[in-house]
């Protein structure tokens, strides 16, 4: 095949893409039986992939074949049905295929004029998603890399809004000399909130924390007292979906307290916000529509390939003031169509709306609800099967897709025993899950977030866990 310094004939390009499809299909077809954990060492991967930068060019088909072979042992079966670590979704077939097209089309989704289809597809996704989450169609939105950047973007809009109300233009004048901004969050918030506050110059050590209940939900009674203590610009970060327990903060009661105090309410709902898309679970997110901003992911529970986060804001002017930018060469469309860079922290960027659109279009409203419900049913099945075994304790109320399991030790070394079981499960390779510490207790974390997980996957994994626990 020709090298990239010459134009590649169409037939050769087609066979390269067909090779890529064959490599991908081989990986995906092997997923159901593949060992879930990686079998490689970092040094082994370096040996295969590293060395000095080659001077000579190489045929792209050979590059692809060698890359696929060399990385194979270092791949983890995260897109498969028995990966239960962190909160990691797989890729729906339509979303995966649309993601390939996104690369082939290679649109720069920063400005409408450079990529009109990408802009309109995002517009449609924004409207569909707001509908699914039950938030206003007037909310502005952005498609970002993940919930970390969704939290950052939303909190930048919040910072703009609360300071503007205090007579300060933070975009123009920065934070030096600005009225103090009070930030309040639950003690069980996700670390990406602290990180976003650092990025925004609000600092994480100024954060005031509200204690949580036994499931990790913010206590609205304590919040109310805290809010009453001092007036002034206030941003309140709440959570839909605790990363350990899956618990969702009581949003309605929180919004009551916040609206009395005039605080901006931001919902970090990386995965838990998807409960709003399920009629059987949406009671858990009651009041969500009353918030001022929302952050979630498509690459978790919607099962869109990485990297795909979503941010929404009930104050489009604040969102645009925080993110928008102008330059004479950044040509705007005559009809003021959607320019994505006004809603994102990036300028040039991938047209990540295409796979989100394909996921939503292939599932439809009922399919999204079914995906969410199915994962939660699998989580309950895990909890039921493990919890009934002697010496195994389920630590959380399984309200969503997260299960915390603790293995009791006759000598009282429960943390050590739990860690040992987790390691043995990872080593066994039937499934993969990680550990955590929940309210001082070591626990195994099971997160069911993949569209392709079956009841058989759950039962095989339960058997592997119990095997590891009895070994
Ligand atoms: C509640 C919550 N917020 C934010 C994040 C960060 O999401 P991402 O890794 O997509 O940036 C996570 C990740 O698990 C999460 O659970």
Helices in 134-190 by DSSP H: which ranges? 147-165, 170-173
Quick check: bond before 307 cis, omega within 30?
yes
How many angstroms separate the alpha carbon of residue 350 from the centre of ligand 1?
20
CA 276 to each of CA 116, 238, 243, 365: distance values in angstroms, whole numbers, following the listed order: 30, 15, 17, 11
Residue 333 has a pLDDT of 85
Both tokens assigned to 377: 């049913």
Which pTM was predicted? 0.97
The CB of 269 under 6 Å from ligand 1? The reply is no
CA 80 to each of CA 86, 309, 430, 452: distance values in angstroms, whole numbers, following the listed order: 14, 21, 11, 7
Query: At CA 89, angle to CA 88 and CA 94, rounded to 5?
Result: 155
Both tokens assigned to 80: 């498969």
**Secondary structure of residue 470 in the 3-state scheme:** helix
- Number of Cα atoms under 13 Å in the Cβ half of residue 299: 18
The CB of 240 under 6 Å from ligand 1? The reply is no
- CB count within 10 Å of CB 322 equals 25
Residue 3 has a pLDDT of 61
- Number of Cα atoms under 13 Å in the Cβ half of residue 462: 20
- In whole angstroms, what is the distance from residue 197 CA to residue 68 CA? 39
The candidate with the shortest Cα–Cα distance to 295, out of 78, 110, 129, 128, is 129
The ligand 1 atom at the shortest distance from the C-alpha of residue 87 is 14
The CB of 147 under 6 Å from ligand 1? The reply is yes
Residue 327 has a pLDDT of 87
In terms of C-beta density within 10 A (0-12 exposed, 13-18 middle, 19 or more buried), how is residue 118 classed?
buried
The CB of 89 under 6 Å from ligand 1? The reply is no
The CB of 308 under 6 Å from ligand 1? The reply is no
Both tokens assigned to 430: 């039937």
The residues, any chain, with a CB within 8 Å of residue 390's CB and separated by 6 or more, are none
Give bridge partners of residue 294 from the DSSP assignment: 267, 312
Q: Are 41 and 411 within 8 A, CB to CB?
A: no
- In whole angstroms, what is the distance from residue 22 CA to residue 90 CA? 19
- In whole angstroms, what is the distance from residue 286 CA to residue 326 CA? 38
Q: Are 83 and 77 within 8 A, CB to CB?
A: yes
Placement of tokens 């590891």 in the chain: 468
- 372-392 in b/e form (b: 16+ CB < 10 A) is bbbbbebbbbbbebbeeeeeb
The DSSP symbol for 454 reads -
The residue contributing the CA closest to ligand 1 atom 12 is 270
Residue 4 has a pLDDT of 62
How many angstroms separate the alpha carbon of residue 244 from the centre of ligand 1?
11
Choose the residue to mutate in 142, 192, 306 for probing ligand 1, maximizing ligand atoms within 8 Å of C-beta.
Answer: 192
Choose the residue to mutate in 85, 146, 218, 245 for probing ligand 1, maximizing ligand atoms within 8 Å of C-beta.
Answer: 146
The ligand 1 atom at the shortest distance from the C-alpha of residue 86 is 14
- In whole angstroms, what is the distance from residue 355 CA to residue 94 CA? 7
Query: At CA 204, angle to CA 199 and CA 207, rounded to 5?
Result: 130
The CB of 267 under 6 Å from ligand 1? The reply is no
Question: One digit per residue, pLDDT tens: the chain, 471 residues?
Answer: 656 656 777 899 999 999 999 999 999 999 999 999 999 999 999 999 999 999 999 999 999 999 999 999 999 999 999 999 999 999 999 999 999 999 999 999 999 999 999 999 999 999 999 999 999 999 999 999 999 999 999 999 999 999 999 999 999 999 999 999 999 999 999 999 999 999 999 998 889 999 999 999 999 999 999 999 988 999 999 999 999 999 999 999 999 999 999 999 999 999 999 999 999 999 999 999 999 999 999 999 999 999 999 999 999 999 999 999 988 889 888 888 999 999 999 999 999 999 999 999 999 999 999 999 999 999 999 999 999 999 999 999 999 999 999 999 999 999 999 999 999 999 999 999 999 999 999 999 999 999 999 999 999 999 999 999 998
The DSSP symbol for 78 reads T
Question: φ and ψ at 10, to 5 degrees?
Answer: -55, -45
How many angstroms separate the alpha carbon of residue 371 from the centre of ligand 1?
19
Choose the residue to mutate in 86, 87, 275 for probing ligand 1, maximizing ligand atoms within 8 Å of C-beta.
Answer: 87
Q: Are 126 and 229 within 8 A, CB to CB?
A: no
- In whole angstroms, what is the distance from residue 148 CA to residue 109 CA? 20
The CB of 87 under 6 Å from ligand 1? The reply is yes
Query: At CA 204, angle to CA 201 and CA 208, rounded to 5?
Result: 120
- In whole angstroms, what is the distance from residue 382 CA to residue 157 CA? 40
- In whole angstroms, what is the distance from residue 290 CA to residue 145 CA? 25
Residue 91 has a pLDDT of 98
The CB of 356 under 6 Å from ligand 1? The reply is no
């Amino acid at each position: 095949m020709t090298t990239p310094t010459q134009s590649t004939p169409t037939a050769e390009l087609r066979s390269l893409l067909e090779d890529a499809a064959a490599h991908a299909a081989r990986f995906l077809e092997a997923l159901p039986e593949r060992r879930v954990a990686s079998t490689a060492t970092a040094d082994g991967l370096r040996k295969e992939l590293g060395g000095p930068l080659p001077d000579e060019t190489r045929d792209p088909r050979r590059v692809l074949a060698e890359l696929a072979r060399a990385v194979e042992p270092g791949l983890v079966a995260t897109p498969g049905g028995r990966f239960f670590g962190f909160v990691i979704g797989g890729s729906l077939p339509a979303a995966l295929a649309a993601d390939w097209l996104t690369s082939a089309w290679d649109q720069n989704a920063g400005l409408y004029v450079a990529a009109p289809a990408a802009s309109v597809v995002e517009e449609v996704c924004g409207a569909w998603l707001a509908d699914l989450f039950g938030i206003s169609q007037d909310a502005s939105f952005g498609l970002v890399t993940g919930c970390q950047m969704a939290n950052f973007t939303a909190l930048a809009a919040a910072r703009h809004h609360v300071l503007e109300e205090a007579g300060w233009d933070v975009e123009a004048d920065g934070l030096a000399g600005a009225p103090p901004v009070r930030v309040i969050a639950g003690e069980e918030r996700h670390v990406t909130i602290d990180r976003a506050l650092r990025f925004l110059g609000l600092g994480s050590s100024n954060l005031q924390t509200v204690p949580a209940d036994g499931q990790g939900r913010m206590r609205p009674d304590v919040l109310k007292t805290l809010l009453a203590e001092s007036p002034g610009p206030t941003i309140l970060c709440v959570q839909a979906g605790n990363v350990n327990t899956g618990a969702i903060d009581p949003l309605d009661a929180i919004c009551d307290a916040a609206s009395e105090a005039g605080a901006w309410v931001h919902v970090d709902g990386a995965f838990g916000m998807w409960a709003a898309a399920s009629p059987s679970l949406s009671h858990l997110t009651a009041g969500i529509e009353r918030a001022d901003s929302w952050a979630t992911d498509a690459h978790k529970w919607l099962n869109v390939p990485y990297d795909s986060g979503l941010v929404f804001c009930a104050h489009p002017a604040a969102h645009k003031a925080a993110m928008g930018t102008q330059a004479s060469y950044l040509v705007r469309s005559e009809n003021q169509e959607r320019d994505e860079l006004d809603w994102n922290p990036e300028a040039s960027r991938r047209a990540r709306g295409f796979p989100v659109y394909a996921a939503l279009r292939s599932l439809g409203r009922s399919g999204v609800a079914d995906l969410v419900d199915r994962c939660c049913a699998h989580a309950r099945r895990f909890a039921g099967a493990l919890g009934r075994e002697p010496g195994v304790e389920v630590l959380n109320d399984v309200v969503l897709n997260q299960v915390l399991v603790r293995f009791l030790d006759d000598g009282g070394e429960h943390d050590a025993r739990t860690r040992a079981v987790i390691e043995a499960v990872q080593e066994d390779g039937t499934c993969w899950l990680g550990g955590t510490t929940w309210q001082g207790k070591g626990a195994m974390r099971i997160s069911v977030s993949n569209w392709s997980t079956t009841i058989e996957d759950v039962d095989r994994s339960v058997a592997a866990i119990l095997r590891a626990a009895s070994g």
